[in-house]
Structure 1
Amino acid sequence: MSGVDWDEDDPFEEQRERVESPMRRLLGEYGRPYWFSVGVGLVSSVLARALDLLPALLLAVAIDAIFGDATFHEQVPLVVLPEAWLPTTEDGQFWFVATAIALSFALGAIFHWLRNWGFNAFSQDVQHDVRTATYDKMQRLDMEFFSNKQTGEMMSVLSNDVNQLERFLNEGMNSATRLVVMVVGITLLLFWLNPQLALVSLAPVPLIAVFTYIFVMKIQPKYAAVRSSVGKVNSRLENNLGGIGVIKSSNTEEFESGRVEDVSQKYFDTNWDAIQLRIKFFPGLQLISGTGFVLTFVIGGYWVFTGSGPGPFTGTLQEGIFVAFILYTQQLVWPMAQFGQVVNMYQRAEASSERIFGLMDEQGRIERDDDADDLEVREGRVEYDRVSFSYDTVDSSDSTDGAETVRDDSGSERIIDDVSFDVDGGETVALVGPTGAGKSTVLKLLLRLYDVDRGTIRIDGQDVRDVSLSSLRQSMGYVGQQSFLFYGTVEENVTYGTFDASREEIIEAAKAAEAHEFIQNLPDGYDTMVGERGVKLSGGQRQRVAIARAVLKDPDILVLDEATSDVDTETEMLIQRSIDDLTENRTTFAIAHRLSTIKDADQILVLEDGSIVERGTHGDLLENDGLYSHLWGVQAGEIDELPQEFIERAQRRQARTEVDVDIDD
């Protein structure tokens, strides 16, 4: 029911496979600037855990010295104090130990606070830097990358995967430090107190190491599958929430609930598979660790009761030392059991960092030269010189632009084929043609949203590939078919890209776009919140705000891609009048299905299947009685007068468009 092919690979698998040592890279690239906070966390954790070990040792001293037969000064050297500092009376000795235990808890609390501050500050700083760096890289990738990835999958990397890193860098590193200090510290103390009994207490450690290694080998691929399934759930939810209006108007809530249930079930199954392994591992690990405690209690207790070591054990074991062994072995059980949790968090973090760095390492087809010269627009002359382009994708259904498939030498699908034309500065050029002819793609090549495969595009003699991307796009104003508005106020959307504009300039731009009057009638005028994607405004209102944005930018070259497609005829007339003023003495490209809006263009290019088949003025093209005149006849309602050949070609084009799923006209 879901329509999702769960046999497909992780959408980031190709990127993940290229990543080497992701955790080392994470700590090296993003952790190094925050060495102070993590240093405070590590040192404080070591000192805090060392102080945690002190009370049991002091208790052993008290039992054997105060309540037993041993003398106090013989026991206290364990904590390395001058004999002159040690009390001689039982009361003094008792309060000495009590004070020492209280001080160890007080100092331990201070170091625990410093430990938590250090690790939390470190993890939050790294998480922030990784998220912002990943987003910055993502937004600079080619449009082709986004056509092959779903929004929910990319959101999963920015949200879930980055959050997994924060958990390991805080809880995981904290627990790992605690584990090392406790295990090493307890091991040294046990061998110091009684090497023979220490071997009994630590006997399960090698078995724990083997058990954990097996767990790591089995859990790693399961976590990679979980990360992938999270992305698919996010993608489905993002798609459905974005299309909630279509769902409601189509009465398909039940159908979509089924699709969400399907992807959620897949995530449940994948995650439950990993959980089942994990919930088997931790109790098993705790059982093995507990074996050491039981053995210590049985052998040590027998040793104390009988006064001599059982079997191969020799010497005596004092009651206080036995109590210390019991306490330390008990303290050892939890860190050993927690070792699995540390490994668990590490594996999750490694799987996430592979996806993050895989995305960061993604290379686009557009080569960016940070040292390139800025574009200098003098006249605004644009030249397309034998330009060809093909989407470098395996699945043509997501990228063919609806154009008839032409294969290049690499086997990719040719979308634009040997297109050449010149535009003098200040001219208005219109691109028309059937749906899927490649019109939008031609102009996206000018903006370098994609790069040409062959040929050259020049602005005033400068190859667009030889100038900086920022200066190229800054010189252009673009109004697309879908007028996207950001969550915020009307004013914030008009000034997007021209952030320092004054209120007077904003109003003038809105008036030029025929938007000022409807904005004034909004509840808060220019301060009205437009909602997510501008949902509180009509399609025509969103389009006029987008045009106002382009007017305010005052670009050298203007690109209008169906800029009035969402407005009624009357509003279109008003906007068209404003656009005429805007395009005067400015190089302008306009795409239109509604041919009446471009009939006054200086030059009209007619595209079909990625090639220019006609060019000229409106009057010239009507006289030619070619594709343009037929399209004009369709819009004039002269259906019965159209030639049969044109109708048959339109049917073939429509069939291809329905199969290919046109993504950008």
Structure 2
Amino acid sequence: MAPGDEFETELDAYREEVAHPLWRLFRAYTPGHTAWLAIGLVTSILAYGTLLVTPIVLGTTIDAVFTQESAYALPLVPDAWLPSGQVAQFWFSAAVVGGALLGGAVLQWVRGVAINYFAHGVMYAIRVDAYEKMQRLDMTFFDNKETGEVMSILNNDTSNLETFFDNALGDSVRIGVIVVGVTTALLYTNWQLALVTLGAVPLLVGFTWWFMRVIEPRYTRHRETIGDLNTRIENGLSGIELVKTTSTEEYENDRVRRVSRDVFDANMSVLKLSYFYRPGMELITGAALLATFILGGLWVFSGPPLFFSGELTTGEFVVFMLLTQRLTGPMAQLSSIVDWYENAKASGKRICGLMDVPVRIEDRPDAIALDDVDGRVASDDVTFAYDDGETVLDGVDIDAEPGETVAIVGPTGAGKSTVAKLLLRLYDVSDGAVRVDGHDVRDVRLADLRSSIGYVSQDTFLFDGTVADNIRYGRFDADREDVVAAAEAAEAHNFIQGLSEGYDTRVGERGVKLSGGQRQRIAIARTVLQDPEILLLDEATSAVDTETEYLIQRSLDRLAADRTTLVIAHRLSTIKDADTIAVLDEGEVVERGSHDELLAADGLYANLWGVQAGEIESLPEDFLARAAERPADRHT
């Protein structure tokens, strides 16, 4: 399927199709953590079962030892084990209660460790799988999806699942054990009075069902606003230099303030309903406790009230009150479990939606290895259009023989950078084929294809690490000598030595501690270390000063020697020595030839060259009019 008009992005469309997300994730990730889950569930049953020991033993002791209304007997304990004297029975009861308290504490510790190992293990596996899935998605997904939204899925949503599997799962077991145990004990002790106590259960179930139906869309909205907030904060921090240089701090503050208000409103919408539900649950369970106390007390005082019959001893009444108290707390706790469940369900839909987005660019089952690359590149009648129908390239043919340098030039929005992205197979062609050594890039292994291409773009990205780490990125086994040699070839060694810690200097997030030219030369050094057969340069010198451009160009010339090189450039002076120059305009190759041949043709290239060289003042009016209407290249 593809996202419909009613959905903003593809992720939104797939998320809406997700059914039973928590059950789906539970089935998918529990098998790897079954042992911890089993230990947690068994110890939960035993631990919460010990909570029933105290009221039952106390009730029996009151009737047998203090009021002597009945014989001393304990459920599941053989009569041969029970002492006969009152004092001995008293101390035996105390020992049983003490043992139950100690055993319960030990079991609770084991339960907590096991359930947390299970919950955190599941969270770890889901987060890693979600990140790995995100890494495999094609660039179209990232064109349409904001970074903060994806970060919210990987961080906040997985944490919500961990909370659910930890707290809600454990508490659900506790409530289940207590409800079953208390119900059994109450019915065994006095089934008539038990019906009064348990009469609240249908009301609690109905109230909970209504709450879950009403709260679900509110939790979905809450998760969406958190994603929007993360996106807004991430954008503001990433563009902090622009914010400061344009004095727009208050504008950005206002944008964060508005989206924060959306989070606040969505959160309060959830909380207001939750705080209505919780007191309601407590009121219903409290009413059941009060009814049990009144009717049971009257029964002890003056015999069976209303339509009840039979006898109720003091000890049985104490058991009822203590067990009913044990029941009311967990039943009121249902509100928190429902909260955790609905929150986790909304998060689970977002995670499953991400998992369901199809990976369109991946190795085919019969993908072939690309070994001993010669470097022959061909674009055969390539057409490319986005999902929204916007055509970027139409019938493009560009060939490069091994060792040749082919330049691709043209105005902004002509589709130059798209040619580079198709060669790297960041996108797939709509029609035609891109070939390397005669192989369609869709038929070869992605890792082989991309490792054979060295890509240097205008938008250099550096990770927050040392200079050496960034040069070594992609060739992690390279030693220091290789790193230094690559830096020297990229004209970067001298400035690196001048940094505070040389190659061990941290460059900061996105390399903010370095200048644009320094970042560019580190990127070139990284490509030198990669030693690719094909070199792809996308506006590699367009954002630096003349002196830095000279240094970068010299390193690029050295790198391009004896390699197949495709150069995308606005500055025509950098590509005038290329073997072939292809001129793109509106997605089509309109001119092709050497620099001298294109100048002699006196076409678009000659006009562009004349403007840059200062030989003519401007481009023709008809060209400027078309350029003004042309959409910008998304990848420039």
2:33 maps to 1:34: yes
Q: Relative to structure 2, which stretch is displaced further, 101-110 or 270-279?
A: 270-279
Q: What is the CA RMSD across the aligned residues, in angstroms?
A: 1.5
The letter of the residue matching 1:379 is D
Distance in 2 separating the partners of 1:13 and 1:75 = 65
Kept after mapping to 1: 8 A contact 2:534/2:565: yes
The letter of the residue matching 1:460 is D
Distance in 2 separating the partners of 1:61 and 1:417 = 89
Task: Give aligned pairs, total.
Answer: 631
Number of the residue aligned with 1:421: 398
Unaligned regions of 5+ residues in structure 1, if any?
A: 1-6, 394-411
Tell me the CA shift for residue 9 of structure 1.
Answer: 5.7
Kept after mapping to 1: 8 A contact 2:161/2:344: yes
Unaligned regions of 5+ residues in structure 2, if any?
A: 1-5
Residues 414-453 of structure 1 aligned to structure 2 (within 5 Å): 414-453=391-430
Alignment counterpart, residue 195 of structure 2, candidates 193, 199, 212 = 199
Number of the residue aligned with 1:331: 326
The letter of the residue matching 1:56 is P
2:85 maps to 1:108: no
Tell me the CA shift for residue 94 of structure 1.
Answer: 1.1
Number of the residue aligned with 1:404: none
2:194 maps to 1:234: no
Tell me the CA shift for residue 608 of structure 1.
Answer: 0.7
Number of the residue aligned with 1:61: 60
Distance in 1 separating the partners of 2:145 and 2:161 = 22
Helix, strand or coil for the counterpart of 1:61? helix
Deviations 1:606-664 (A, max 9, x none): 11111111111111111111111111111112343x46xx244224413544xx5x431
Helix, strand or coil for the counterpart of 2:589? strand
Alignment counterpart, residue 649 of structure 1, candidates 605, 614, 623 = 623
Residues 280-319 of structure 1 aligned to structure 2 (within 5 Å): 280-306=276-302, 308-319=303-314
Deviations 1:468-490 (A, max 9, x none): 11111111111111000001110
Number of the residue aligned with 2:3: none
Distance in 2 separating the partners of 1:508 and 1:603 = 31
2:142 maps to 1:146: yes
Residues 516-595 of structure 1 aligned to structure 2 (within 5 Å): 516-595=493-572
The letter of the residue matching 1:362 is V
Tell me the CA shift for residue 11 of structure 1.
Answer: 7.2
The letter of the residue matching 1:146 is F
The letter of the residue matching 1:44 is T
Number of the residue aligned with 2:130: 134
Tell me the CA shift for residue 580 of structure 1.
Answer: 1.5
Number of the residue aligned with 2:634: 663
Distance in 2 separating the partners of 1:21 and 1:166 = 17
Helix, strand or coil for the counterpart of 1:440? helix
2:166 maps to 1:166: no
Alignment counterpart, residue 601 of structure 1, candidates 578, 600, 622 = 578
Distance in 1 separating the partners of 2:43 and 2:14 = 38
Distance in 2 separating the partners of 1:649 and 1:75 = 104
The letter of the residue matching 1:342 is I
Alignment counterpart, residue 181 of structure 1, candidates 177, 183, 193 = 177
Deviations 1:277-319 (A, max 9, x none): 111111111101111100000000011111x110111111111
2:219 maps to 1:223: yes
2:594 maps to 1:617: yes
2:458 maps to 1:481: yes
Number of the residue aligned with 1:402: none
Helix, strand or coil for the counterpart of 1:324? helix
Kept after mapping to 2: 8 A contact 1:543/1:566: no
2:68 maps to 1:94: no
The letter of the residue matching 2:568 is I
Deviations 1:12-44 (A, max 9, x none): 431112223211211111111100001110000
Number of the residue aligned with 1:44: 43
The letter of the residue matching 2:38 is G
Tell me the CA shift for residue 434 of structure 1.
Answer: 0.7
The letter of the residue matching 1:158 is L
Alignment counterpart, residue 606 of structure 2, candidates 629, 634, 647 = 629
Number of the residue aligned with 1:391: 386
Evaluate the alpha carbon distance shift between residue 9 and residue 452 of structure 1 in structure 2; reply closer, same or farther with a 3 A threshold. closer
Distance in 1 separating the partners of 2:184 and 2:232 = 54
Tell me the CA shift for residue 8 of structure 1.
Answer: 7.5
Structure 1 segments, 4+ long, off by >4 Å, are 7-11
The letter of the residue matching 2:322 is L
Kept after mapping to 2: 8 A contact 1:370/1:468: no
Number of the residue aligned with 1:381: 376
Alignment counterpart, residue 501 of structure 1, candidates 473, 478, 494 = 478
Kept after mapping to 2: 8 A contact 1:547/1:563: no
Kept after mapping to 1: 8 A contact 2:131/2:154: yes
Kept after mapping to 2: 8 A contact 1:223/1:347: yes
% identical aligned pairs: 51
Distance in 2 separating the partners of 1:181 and 1:653 = 72
Number of the residue aligned with 2:153: 157
TM-score, with length taken from structure 1:
0.93
Tell me the CA shift for residue 421 of structure 1.
Answer: 2.3
Distance in 1 separating the partners of 2:9 and 2:223 = 9
Helix, strand or coil for the counterpart of 1:465? helix
Tell me the CA shift for residue 569 of structure 1.
Answer: 1.3
Helix, strand or coil for the counterpart of 1:81? coil
Tell me the CA shift for residue 83 of structure 1.
Answer: 2.1
Distance in 2 separating the partners of 1:335 and 1:384 = 68
TM-score, with length taken from structure 2:
0.97
Number of the residue aligned with 1:397: none
The letter of the residue matching 1:35 is T
Q: Relative to structure 2, which stretch is displaced further, 590-599 or 525-534?
A: 590-599
Distance in 2 separating the partners of 1:119 and 1:197 = 36
Kept after mapping to 2: 8 A contact 1:443/1:559: yes
Helix, strand or coil for the counterpart of 2:444? coil
Deviations 1:189-227 (A, max 9, x none): 000010000001111100110000000111111111111
Evaluate the alpha carbon distance shift between residue 437 and residue 10 of structure 1 in structure 2; reply closer, same or farther with a 3 A threshold. closer
